[in-house]
Amino acid sequence: MSGAGAPRLTLDGTGLRVTVVAASWHTEVMDGLVAGAQRALAAANVTDVRLLRVPGSFELPVAAGRVARTGVDAVVALGVVIRGGTPHFDYVCSAATQGLTDVAVRTGVPVGFGLLTCDDEAQALDRAGLPGSSEDKGAEAAEAAVATVLALRGL
């Protein structure tokens, strides 16, 4: 899946409460994703932003689920899983993806999906919103979460 075709979103999230839930593996990539999400939220006028760190991407769904039930408007979930030599990669990726989908559907709280699933660290760095990266997936996840809140508002 390439980043080509991503929408350009102009968002006004004034007054929204958003929590960023971020895994901790692969520090440099995670620092880029978290900073990108925070930048995008600030650009969308979201000032009530909290950050919750969890150990790994496998822990994202349980944390996102708890956060979603605290009255926030949206959750942004960030993590990076890098393929190793065993099937562990597939289990962590699918558990995190399915778990985050369940949280959004069951709670009705939009969850921005910022989970990078990469073959190697270079691929992850290229998507981390760092100087020299070609994509900024933390920002994209934050923008998607805010845009979904705004789209669903008033229904």
User: What is the binding site for ligand DLZ (CB under 6 A)?
Assistant: 23, 25, 55-59, 79-82, 84, 88, 92
CB of 32 to ligand DLZ, least distance (A): 14
Question: Which residue's CB atom is positioned nearest to ligand DLZ?
Answer: 56
Q: Residue 150: which H helix or E strand, with range?
A: helix 137-152
26 tagged catalytic: no
Considering 42, 51, 70, 88, which one is annotated as catalytic?
A: 88
For 2, phi then psi, to 5°, come to -100, 170
Give bridge partners of residue 76 from the DSSP assignment. 20, 112
C-beta of 45 vs 101, nearer to ligand DLZ: 101
For 101, phi then psi, to 5°, come to -60, -45
C-beta of 38 vs 57, nearer to ligand DLZ: 57
How many contiguous H segments (helices) and E segments (strands) does the chain have?
Answer: 5, 4
Q: Looking at the annotation, which residues are catalytic?
A: 88
